Structure 1
């Protein structure tokens, strides 16, 4: 049996108290890598010991197999447990024995019709919806099916207590063309749009940055397509760094051999496409390389936290080639999960950020203008020739920068800059002068052209 950690025991106590208060459908939030399956197994053990039936739902075979092993090790009464993939159980819901408790793993998927068909079949059951991210990419949130939420300890707290490894985060100094990213029906970006956005290569070269930042560490790489994954794998191998690629089309026996080779530390780099996100155990990952963007906070946290399993003296490395942190913040940022899971919550509104349009600078009058304003190769301000930068030719053979290095200097400057201090907590709509726009641009790391465009939009002049 597993010995529960204090924060896991605390989750179970809070769940029990919530049930005693009359709540029937409860969201249980706890960060990735914190053993939610162990918590579910212990709850299932206690439930089945009282001769009550448990139904466990998950949507991926690899995660299901791993969870079933955990339930068995925790001495859950097997005759009183039904565990399966939702895709399978939803087709035979009429034949399922009625459970007193339903456990749902990765429950941010639970609004899907397949889950709802099962939940509606058993209206009297208690439902526990476990997830690291109780916020969905769509408009509808989990408050539609839950009447309470229990928020686990934060990533910062768990790191301070040694349950997660500390990490260093590296990010590109430039953006790729986010205008080209388009969302699919799943809420994440489509493969074709990521192909177009990433073709500009406005991120550091993956192998070069790995060797500079995390050389010799075991790493998992997240790629957006099979073609991209194979290319990255080949580049690592050409550099003398052992790497293998796995994806949904990789035969099961081959995939298992590759993963085991990685676990045995006989393989340095494991490149994957949409496999090692939810639940799959890879304990010896020291570095994560995000070679793709995502529109999903759940995926971002699964990607970035894959390497945070702790061990003595370990400091994990997160390499973000796609500027995902600009959309979601950093993994250990504080988040208001209670507000985030409410449909229509204002907390889900995205902050104003720097413009994504291309900017050109005139060598004659030094005006900074939108590239779309340039007609016939002439500056719209002075009429002299102006060159519009060709984004497709920009090669981001740049070194990624570590989180906090540039911000530390900006904050130190802000302490001695009255204007910058005054705009720290303001929104863009509250900025009234050119000096405030300039300070805001510097504080948030926006491009210099942002000041000119916002000043023109607001009718502000120097």
Structure 2
């Protein structure tokens, strides 16, 4: 049974731009569309695929996101869908095939007849090396459209780090932005939740002591651990979560999701907080699903996770996120804030940052994509401060 889904105006505009891009015979470039977290990217993907009268390969970065995207496509048109992914024990090729890159990378011959490719979370495509680059090269003349909320990559540059807009890297996979909508626009329209930001740091916290790793992509484990020990970061984190469990104002929290850098402080938090569960890369999938179900049901009040719930975790009622880790990655920061940006009736969302990230990047609604001089030289600004294509400070 097919079903008509009423697209929002900006979703319809995005779909129109994508279909026009794919149908334009003369264009040789690959393009991206920038759609913020919570904008309904899976609906846009499904609508585009349904309108294209040809084979479409849709790459998804994880099992969770593939499942979400596939389900939306099934609502619109279930007769065209297939999944090619080891995590689903499925190696089917259909008119619209949802895939993970790790599963198809060795089988480009199965997709030689595909004219169109879409990549969800397109910022994960490394233009210099890796599975995506090799697969695209093996396929040859295929049009590729990337979708992302975070169109930038952090890389080492002249002894430091630079956040580069993905159409402005050399080499690049995507060379043109064909559609974008600002976070602030969706917030003003009521499609995203307003968030109250709180910057709290342990006494004596000193970011200048953190060292950049060799890739330029983030701080070294060693320097972060040394700073944590110096200021008793673990004790501070426990005290903050205890305060959030019994807030002096704002009423009881629906759920507190804590993002830690290491599994160690997630475990230490769970040792001190009775209603706290830990989720990490080592947590078996069935156990993780059970924890998250209990969290959503209110049976578990706090989930401490070490880097596994940054994308694909959809829980609109979530009203409290604690960022208990420093990062140089604007994408990671935005994805963490984005866990609570989906609106829900009566929600009073709090974002509590313990490591100077708000100061570094600003509020997510203040992030602006700007096409300088309308010449395709895209940049990201935060409150007028340039964040991309300059040395990281």
- Correspondent of 2:46 among 41, 54, 58: 41
The match for 2:131 is 114
Q: Taking structure 1 as the reference length, what is the TM-score of the superposition?
A: 0.68
**Which of 26, 30, 38 is matched with 1:25 structurally?**
30
Contact 1:23 1:148 in 2 (8 A): no
Q: 2:166 aligns with which of 121, 126, 142?
A: 142
Change (3 A) 1:9 1:35: same
Q: Indicate the structure with greater helix content.
A: 1
Residues 127 and 233 from structure 1, CA distance in 2 versus in 1: closer, same or farther, beyond 3 angstroms?
Answer: same
Question: Whose Rg is larger?
Answer: 1
CA contact (8 A) 2:31 2:144 kept: yes
How far apart, CA to CA, are the structure 2 residues paired with 1:3 and 1:220? 32
Of 168, 175, 183 in structure 1, the residue corresponding to residue 213 of structure 2 is 183
Tell me, yes or no, if the aligned pair for 1:134 and 1:341 is still in contact at 8 Å: no
Matching residue of 2:158 = none
For these two proteins, the number of residue pairs brought into alignment is: 343
The equivalent of 1:218 in structure 2 is 255
Partner of residue 59 from structure 2, selected from 57, 60, 76: 57
1:190–1:181 distance in 2 versus 1, CA, 3 Å: same
* Aligned: 1:287 with 2:320: yes
Q: What does 1:7-18 correspond to in 2, within 5 Å?
A: 7-18=10-21
CA–CA distance in structure 2, aligned partners of residues 168 and 45 of structure 1? 38
- Matched residues in 2 for 1:65 and 1:186: separation? 33
- 2:37–2:335 Cα contact (<8 Å) kept: yes
Q: Determine the C-alpha separation between the residues in 2 that align with 1:250 and 1:130.
A: 29
Alpha-carbon distance change, 33 to 201 in structure 1, aligned in 2, over 3 angstroms: farther
CA distance in structure 1 between the aligned counterparts of 2:363 and 2:387, rounded to whole angstroms: 20
Aligned to 2:354: 321
How far apart, CA to CA, are the structure 2 residues paired with 1:165 and 1:259? 21
TM, length-normalised to structure 2: 0.79
Q: Provide the C-alpha distance between the structure 1 equivalents of 2:286 and 2:333, rounded to a whole number of angstroms.
A: 28
Give the match for residue 183 of structure 2.
Answer: 155
Mapped partners of 2:205, 2:179: distance in 1 = 34
* CA 1:14–1:82: 2 relative to 1, 3 Å: closer
1:103-150 Cα distance to aligned partner (Å, 9 max, x none): 111111112421011111233222111111111011565222223103
Structure 1 residue 347, shift from structure 2 partner = 4.6
* 1:317 Cα deviation after fit: 0.7
| Equivalent position of 1:355 in the other structure | none
Q: For 1:336, what is the secondary structure of its paired residue?
A: strand
Q: Report the Cα distance in structure 2 between the residues aligned to 1:152 and 1:170, rounded to whole angstroms.
A: 29
Equivalent position of 2:9 in the other structure: 6
Which residue number corresponds to residue 265 of structure 2?
228
Per the alignment, in what secondary structure is the counterpart of residue 332 of structure 1? Answer: helix
5+ residue gaps in structure 2?
82-93, 156-161, 372-376, 381-385
2:87 matched residue in structure 1: none
Note the C-alpha offset of 1:18: 4.5
Q: CA 1:171–1:150 in structure 2 vs 1: closer, same or farther (change >3 Å)?
A: farther
The residue correspondences of 1:405-416 to structure 2 (distance < 5 A) are: none
Question: 8 Å contact 1:151–1:337 — kept in the other structure?
Answer: no
Where in structure 1 are there 5+ consecutive unaligned residues?
Answer: 353-462
Distance 1:351 1:57, change over 3 A: closer
Tell me if 1:105 matches 2:120: yes
Looking at structure 2, the residues matched to 160 and 315 of structure 1 have their Cα atoms a distance apart, in angstroms, of 16
SS of 2:154 mapped into structure 1: coil
Q: Within 5 Å, which residues of 2 pair with 1:286-305?
A: 286-305=319-338
Cα RMSD of the aligned pairs, angstroms, is 2.6
Contact 1:28-1:152 at 8 Å conserved across structures: yes
Match of 1:93 in 2: 108
Distance in 2 (alpha carbons) for counterparts of 1:116 and 1:349: 25
1:341, distance to aligned residue in structure 2 (A): 6.1
